[in-house]
Amino acid sequence: MRQFTLISFDLCPFVQRSIITLKRKGIRFKICFIDLANKPDWFLKLSPTGKVPLLIVKQSGQPDEIVFESAVINEYLDEVNPPALMPADALVRAKHRAFIEFTSQLLVIQYKLTHAKSAEDKATHTNELKKQLARLMNEVKLPLFAGANFSLIDAAIAPLIMRQRLIDREWNLDVIASNETCRKYAKNLLQRPAVRGSVIHGFAEKYIASIRQSGGF
**77-126 pLDDT tens trace:** 999 999 999 999 999 999 999 999 999 999 999 999 999 999 999 999 99
Name which CATH class applies to 90-213. Answer: mainly alpha
Give pLDDT tens digits for 192-216.
999 999 999 999 999 999 999 988 7
The sheet with strand 30-33 has its strands ordered as 30-33, 2-8, 54-59, 65-68
Between CA 42 and CA 48 the distance in angstroms is 12
| pLDDT tens digit sequence for 57-76 | 999 999 999 999 999 999 99
Task: Spell out the domain ranges in the chain.
Answer: 2-80, 90-213
pLDDT in tens, 15-60: 999 999 999 999 999 999 999 999 999 999 999 999 999 999 999 9
What is the structure's pLDDT at 105?
A: 97
Mean of the per-residue pLDDT values for the chain? 97
Q: How far apart are CA 179 and CA 177, in angstroms?
A: 5
Catalytic residue among 7, 12, 55, 189: 12
**Tell me, what amino acid is at 45?**
K
Helix/strand/coil (H/E/C) assignment for every residue in 191-202 = CCHHHHCCCCCC
Residue spans of alpha helices (H) in 138-201: 152-171, 180-190, 193-196
Give the whole-angstrom CA distance, residue 39 versus residue 194: 28
Active site residue 32: no
How far, in Å, CA of 126 to CA of 110, rounded? 8
Average pLDDT over residues 118-138: 97
Give the span between the Cα atoms of 217 and 214, in whole angstroms: 9
CATH of domain 2-80: 3.40.30.10
Q: How far is CA 27 from CA 17, 19, 151, 206, in A?
A: 14, 10, 16, 27
pLDDT computed for residue 1 by the predictor: 85
217 pLDDT more than 80 = no
